[in-house]
Amino acid sequence: MPTPAANLFVPQAIKVVGPDIHVEQQTAHVKKVMARLSKMGVQVLVFGSGGARRVPDGFSKDEAWTQLVDFSRRAADEAKTVGITVTIEPLRTQETNIINSAAEGLKLVEAVNHPNFQLMIDFYHLASEKEDPSIVVRAKDHLRHLHVANPNGRVFPQAWDEFDYAPFFAALKTIGYDKRISMEGSTTDLAAQGPVTVALLRRAFE
């Protein structure tokens, strides 16, 4: 079976920012990842990796930004050779301390300026950070993938009124979003809850 989307790009042990980065180690890892994922049919690789990109205490945020742009550009170059798009995932502040909002993710995409480095949005993180869903409209030219979950518990969405989903999906409808959505959350009964989640997501685009 093809696996069109993947995440967990960079392990915490391979730092992409900070005083202890090793470009050769990064490059070897990226090459190995891309070679493997291309065999699996992956088209979109999510770059969350909060531990790998966490800026160490006392380290310059400006320097970390420059390092992150450089790593992202090199990763995109390698991804292009196998037809994969790397998408930066903004993460809530509990998980990392750089790129915590979709607006910051969009800024990084624009700085990297590479067709194989784009943006994804995880609704759980967007809601956790209380970011205005209208960022979807600003990011429309770069949005390539979505993660969804009910922010109350990070679980499978089951009912339209369990959370305020409407503004987010209204923004997606405004831009005519027609790409992939991945369910990223926990479930106590996949067979029962999975179809309900799929039906809810389809309804959201009606």
Per-residue pLDDT, 155: 98
Q: Which residues contact 36 (CB under 8 A, 6 or more apart)?
A: none
Neighbours of 88 (CB within 10 A): 28
Residue 92 scores a pLDDT above 90:
yes
Residue 177's φ and ψ, nearest 5 degrees, are -60, 125
Residue 145 pairs in a beta bridge with: 120
Give the chain's end-to-end CA distance (angstroms, integer): 29
User: Helix crossing, 61-81 with 102-112: angle to 10°?
Assistant: 60
In this predicted model, what pLDDT tens digit does every residue of 25-83 receive, in sequence order? 999 999 999 999 999 999 999 999 999 999 999 999 999 999 999 999 999 999 999 99
Does the CA dihedral 57-62-63-67 come out positive or negative? positive
**Cα atoms in the 13 Å half-sphere on the side-chain side of 160:** 11
Per-residue pLDDT, 113: 98
- Consecutive H or E run containing 47: strand 44-47
Q: Report d(CA 158, CA 54) in Å as an integer.
A: 33
Residue 206 scores a pLDDT above 90:
no
Angle at the Cα of 201 from the Cα atoms of 197 and 206, rounded to 5 degrees: 145
Per-residue pLDDT, 1: 79
Q: Strands, E, within 60-158: which ranges?
A: 85-88, 117-122, 143-148
Q: Which residues contact 100 (CB under 8 A, 6 or more apart)?
A: 90, 91, 92, 93, 125, 129
- Consecutive H or E run containing 36: helix 23-40
| More confidently predicted of 1 and 14 | 14
Per-residue pLDDT, 2: 81
Domains observed in the chain:
5-204 (3.20.20.150)
Per-residue pLDDT, 156: 98
Q: How, if at all, do strands 143-148 and 85-88 pair?
A: unpaired
Residue 2's φ and ψ, nearest 5 degrees, are -70, 150
In this predicted model, what pLDDT tens digit does every residue of 142-190 receive, in sequence order? 999 999 999 999 999 999 999 999 999 999 999 999 999 999 999 999 9
pTM above 0.85, yes or no: yes
